[in-house]
Structure 1
Amino acid sequence: MRRYVLTGTPGAGKTSLLRGLGDLGHGVVEEAATEVIARAQARGEDEPWTRASFIDEIVTLQRLRQLEAATTDAVQVFDRSPVCTLALATHLGRPVSRTLAAELERITSGRIYERQVFFVRNLGFCEPTSARRITFRESLTFEKVHEETYRELGYQLIDIPAADLPHRVATVASAIARHTS
């Protein structure tokens, strides 16, 4: 099984791209951080990312989703990975927790994800949501942290430039086809 990761800054269109790849028949796994935030906000917690346990909650959900993902798919595409969570911890100025370090070791030693990662570039804007409270300028800084984090860990970034959604879906699908044949 080949597990690919979509990464990039918030608001770059990763979720739409993931859904487009799912429509093409690829197994897809949605981002964990958005769900962790949504659950906390549903309980009345406005800014769960300020909580010390936030990073570990994301890592735990990411691991669970990866382990529970169907094993019948030849290709799976993940909206983010624990490497993204490391980038988030760095961006937030948080130390690398034992949980995050252990998960990074697991995915590295187990070769869980392909070393080629789809880096989805920003669209020139970032629309804030209840879970995404970041300005476009901040998103550019966060984008750079993601890029540096993946490169430092030895991943090869496949650049997915800003374009309309059908073009981006076709670009990723084509790259997956080249890598799996």
Structure 2
Amino acid sequence: MKIVLTGAPGSGKTTLIDALRDLGEQTVPEAAIDVIQALVRELGLAEQDEWRRGDPLGFQQRIYRHQTELEAVLDPSRRSFLDRGTLDGLAYLTMFNTQAPESFKVELAAHHYDHIFFVEPLVLDELDLRQASGRNDSEEEAAKLVELLQAVYRDNGYRIHRIPPLPIAERIQFVLDLANRLELETAPR
């Protein structure tokens, strides 16, 4: 079972993924962070930001390639939690007024996920957008992404399960309880 944790930047997805990994769950880190770090090494901090803003499609294509590499090594017999899914790229492209070629939309949508967990944003003035890592999301963009991400998954036929902004220990338990329940509901009888 592949479960995507999606949501606005700074909503706590990575904290959840790290905690789930520490509990022995199979996880996939956020591909965009790896790509950004590679770009920082390649171009420098300011230059990578300029390149990303200037070529949002190229950036999302790099993320997609890395995401598919990360997903390809998952053990299909184990449940996995992913820090974002391939469709997140469409939301980002929409936010940056960039039209994805139809062929890229088809590629992004070809990845099947069993469940989408939308991690609801924390209080905006408590957001940690990790901009020192090279990310360049603003609070306004984070708020806009809340709607765009939900729309892109709904438009592709997914039901969204909401993860409320609870204290971390409660949030982890909420995610595990929901995943366990969904696993039981979909298990062959």
TM-score (normalised: structure 2): 0.85
Q: For residues 106 and 94 of structure 1, what CA distance do their matches in structure 2 show?
A: 20
Equivalent position amino acid for 1:46 in 2: Q
What corresponds to 2:97 in structure 1?
93
Superposition pairs of residues 73-152 of structure 1, within 5 angstroms: 73=78, 75-97=79-101, 100-107=104-111, 112-114=112-114, 116-125=115-124, 126-128=127-129, 129-130=131-132, 131-152=134-155
Q: For this pair of structures, how many residues does the alignment match?
A: 174
- Structure 2 Cα separation of the partners of residues 67 and 27 of structure 1: 13
Aligned 8 A contact 2:86 2:109 in 1: no
> 2 CA distance for matches of 1:99 and 1:65?
21
User: Which of 43, 65, 68 does residue 63 from structure 1 map onto?
Assistant: 68
- Corresponding residue for residue 178 of structure 2: 175
What is the CA–CA distance in structure 2 between the aligned matches of 1:100 and 1:81, rounded to whole Å?
14
Greater shift in the superposed pair: 143-152 or 6-15? 143-152
Write the deviation string for residues 7-26 of structure 1: whole angstroms up to 9, x where unpaired: 00001010010111112221
The 8 Å contact of residues 10 and 132 in structure 1, kept in 2 or not, is answered as: no
Stretches (4+) displaced over 6 A: none
Shift of 1:86: 1.1
Find the counterpart in structure 1 of residue 187 from structure 2.
none
Which residue matches 2:10?
Answer: 11
Alignment RMSD (CA, Å) = 1.6
Which residue matches 1:153? 156
2:26 and 2:98 map into 1 onto residues whose CA distance is 32
The runs of 5 or more residues in structure 2 that have no matched partner are: 185-189
Match of 1:34 in 2: 33
Structure 1 gaps, min length 5? none
The answer to which of 170-179 and 39-48 deviates more is 39-48
Contact 2:8 2:143 in 1 (8 A): yes
In terms of mean alpha carbon deviation, does 18-27 or 48-57 score higher? Answer: 48-57
Q: Deviations over 1:91-149 (max 9, x none)?
A: 11111135632323422xxxx311x3110011112324133322223211111111111
Kindly indicate whether the alpha-carbon contact (under 8 Å) linking 1:82 and 1:100 is maintained by their aligned counterparts in 2. Answer: no
Distance in 1 between the 2:138 and 2:151 partners? 20
